[in-house]
């Protein structure tokens, strides 16, 4: 059966079948919306978007093979006009900022009520942005913070993997003193008491996403 031209066609991307089932039921039960297709990882999302050309993509972030951030970037590279609404569990400010920088139109949390999700999808069609309150608050809270540099992020990722200073120095071809200096900077910028605390903060805020 042909889809009515007036319907907003949504591509649902999530690696959890139960979540996809719930989103499908919500979207198909709302007047003016229809599910154009589904994908369970980022690679499938890119392929499905190319094939289906949906009006909006409802994109999860944490997925196997290719995550939602990578998929967002890939889809937007192929189709700069693509409308992508991130729907995730994670409100971290670095994650929000990166998603928007990669081309996401909006950023929602999975705890959002049905009405907010549908409103964000409709707004995306018109090119309007919507950011969940909790996510927006995180961004505002850290708006004036000093950003971690690319080199500091490299060190932090290795710290998160449990690497010691000597190992990090060898892997990055820098001195142990340089590693120590970067870790001091990381702790200061994140307001962390120690390495473990820094990793915890970084994971919550989204600095360690792929």
The domain limits of the chain are 8-141, 150-205
Q: What local confidence, expressed as pLDDT, does residue 50 receive?
A: 97
User: DSSP letter string over 2-60?
Assistant: PPPTTSEEEEEE-S-HHHHHHHHHHHHTSTTEEEEEEESSHHHHHHHHHHH--SEEEE-
Closest CA to 16 of 35, 43, 38: 38
Q: What is the pLDDT of residue 1?
A: 43
The string of pLDDT tens digits covering residues 168-187 is: 999 999 999 999 999 999 99
Q: What is the pLDDT of residue 146?
A: 86
- Residue 69 near residue 114, CB atoms below 8 Å: no
Tens digit of pLDDT for each residue in 59-100? 999 998 899 999 999 999 999 999 999 999 988 899 999 999
Q: Is 207 helix (H, G, I), strand (E, B) or coil?
A: coil
CA dihedral 110, 207, 83, 141 (to 10 degrees): 70
Topology (CATH) of 150-205: Arc Repressor Mutant, subunit A (1.10.10)
Per-residue pLDDT of the chain (210 residues; tens, 9 = 90+): 445 568 999 999 999 999 999 999 999 999 999 999 999 999 999 999 999 999 999 999 999 889 999 999 999 999 999 999 999 998 889 999 999 999 999 999 999 999 999 999 999 999 999 999 889 998 888 888 888 999 999 999 999 999 999 999 999 999 999 999 999 999 999 999 999 999 999 998 988 875
Q: Which two tokens stand for residue 208?
A: 């360690």
Query: Which homologous superfamily is 8-141 in?
Result: Response regulator (3.40.50.2300)
State how far the Cα of 13 lies from the Cα of 39, in Å rounded to an integer. 5
d(C-alpha 208, C-alpha 199), whole Å: 8
Confidence (pLDDT) at 208: 85
> SS3 of 150, please?
helix
CA–CA separation, 159 and 199 (whole Å): 7
Please tell me the predicted confidence (pLDDT) of residue 64. Answer: 87
pTM: 0.82
Q: Which pLDDT score, from 0 to 100, does residue 81 have?
A: 95
- Note the pLDDT of residue 91: 87
């Amino acid at each position: 059966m042909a889809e009515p031209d007036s319907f907003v066609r949504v591509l649902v991307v999530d690696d959890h079948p139960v979540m996809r089932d719930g989103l499908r039921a919500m979207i198909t039960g709302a007047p003016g919306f229809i599910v154009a297709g589904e994908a369970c990882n980022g690679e499938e999302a890119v392929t499905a978007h190319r094939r289906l050309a949906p009006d909006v993509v409802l994109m999860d972030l944490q997925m196997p093979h290719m995550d939602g951030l990578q998929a967002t970037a890939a889809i937007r590279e192929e189709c700069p006009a693509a409308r992508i609404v991130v729907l995730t569990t994670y409100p971290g400010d670095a994650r929000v900022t990166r998603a928007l920088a990669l081309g996401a139109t909006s950023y929602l949390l999975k705890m959002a009520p049905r009405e907010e999700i549908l409103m964000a999808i409709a707004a995306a069609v018109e090119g309007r942005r919507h950011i969940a309150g909790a996510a927006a608050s995180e961004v505002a809270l850290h708006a004036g913070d000093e950003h971690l540099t690319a080199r500091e992020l490299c060190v932090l990722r290795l710290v998160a993997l449990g690497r010691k200073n000597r190992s990090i120095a060898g892997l990055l071809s820098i001195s142990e003193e340089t590693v120590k200096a970067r870790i001091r900077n990381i702790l200061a910028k994140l307001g962390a008491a120690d390495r473990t605390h820094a990793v915890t903060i970084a994971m919550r805020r989204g600095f360690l996403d792929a």
